Amino acid sequence: MGLLLKVFMPLLGVALAFYFYSAPKKFSEEMLRGKRVVVTGASAGIGEQMAYHLARMEAHLLLTARTEAKLQKVVERCLELGAASASYVSGSMEDTTFAESVVKKAENSWGGLDMLILNHLGDSYFNYFDGDVKQVRKLLEINFLSFVAMTVSALPMLKESEGNIVVVSSVAGKTGSPFIVPYSATKFALDGFFSSLRQEFTIEKVNVSITLCILGYINTENTVRAVSHAMKDTPAPKEECALEIIKSGALRQRELYYPPWAVRRLVLLRSIIPEFVDSLIISSYKVENVRR
């Protein structure tokens, strides 16, 4: 046993060093110039910021969200920032037919697709789980099944372009978190589907990358309004987060962790000392501020 530990501990140290500090490939904005990109959930928050970054990189953009008035303003701003083209389609991802129609519009407009960024999410509460199964089912439709539907519709074009699928998820899809039970369930589903699909791509030699973005607490307006009263941590900037998501997709990374140290630490330690990670997560909340 002593010999085993002497061998195992140095190997673990090397593995951890590689996991945390391996040098990423170099990103260039040229990678996105002229690329055809669909961004969902683009009327506010991280999606809006991704649209602006991509516009500066001179990409072609098709944006979607529920609120048409907000989308119009984002498209106008994207054109001002230098987007090669920018258009939108508004609707609810609760209807998978609408999700598929977004991809169809991209095909009709461009004849192909280079990057699909799946970023939208449904409204959910921040509180103790209330047993509402209908709410869980609704969130699965928006936060999971529409992601699947869009991916299936986009795959023929992405295979042809050898493009990228970027899935915006959460640390709540890697580790359980209180007060967001239905939301967390949908994010775990994303991990299972897209991680398994990536393995099938490897087997079948399909050159389409899948990047799963594991995000922590980000300072989007909706998130801060919903949870700031119960969070001890300071939220990370949405502008920088949006840029890191784009970079990770363009570089065909397997996963993005943002903020990097805080999120990677939880994900890594969860498989080793899950009870300790549970205590870390619970201690990050002002539990007394969450009322049933």
Confidence at residue 71, expressed as pLDDT on a 0 to 100 scale:
98
CATH number for position 216: 3.40.50.720
Confidence at residue 5, expressed as pLDDT on a 0 to 100 scale:
42
Task: Indicate whether 2 belongs to any domain.
Answer: no
Report the distance separating Cα 212 and Cα 191, nearest Å.
7
Phi-psi region of 252 (alpha: psi -120 to 50; beta: other; left: phi over 0): left
Whole-number CA gyration radius for the chain:
20
Q: Which of 52, 183, 217, 258 is catalytic?
A: 183
119 contacts 41 by C-beta, under 8 angstroms: yes
Strand 85-90, strand 115-118: pairing: unpaired
- Local confidence pLDDT in tens for the 292 residues of the chain: 454 444 444 555 555 555 544 445 799 999 999 999 999 999 999 999 999 999 999 999 999 999 999 999 999 999 999 999 999 999 999 999 999 999 999 999 999 999 999 999 998 889 999 999 999 999 999 999 999 999 999 999 999 999 999 999 999 999 999 999 999 999 999 999 999 999 999 999 999 999 999 999 999 999 999 899 989 999 999 999 999 999 999 999 999 999 998 899 889 898 899 998 899 899 998 888 887 7
The domain of 226 spans 29-289
Domain count, the chain: 1
DSSP state of 144: I
Confidence at residue 4, expressed as pLDDT on a 0 to 100 scale:
43
183 is catalytic: yes
**CA-to-CA dists, residue 282 to 187, 233, 285, 288, angstroms:** 19, 12, 6, 11
Cis peptide before 259 (omega within 30 of 0): yes
Task: Indicate whether 14 belongs to any domain.
Answer: no
Task: Indicate whether 182 belongs to any domain.
Answer: yes
Residue type, 171: V
Task: Indicate whether 20 belongs to any domain.
Answer: no
For the entire predicted model, the pTM comes to: 0.90
**CA-to-CA dists, residue 117 to 120, 126, 168, 261, 289, angstroms:** 9, 25, 8, 24, 34
Task: Indicate whether 21 belongs to any domain.
Answer: no
Task: Indicate whether 274 belongs to any domain.
Answer: yes
Task: Indicate whether 207 belongs to any domain.
Answer: yes
Of how many residues is the chain composed?
A: 292
Task: Indicate whether 135 belongs to any domain.
Answer: yes
Confidence at residue 224, expressed as pLDDT on a 0 to 100 scale:
93
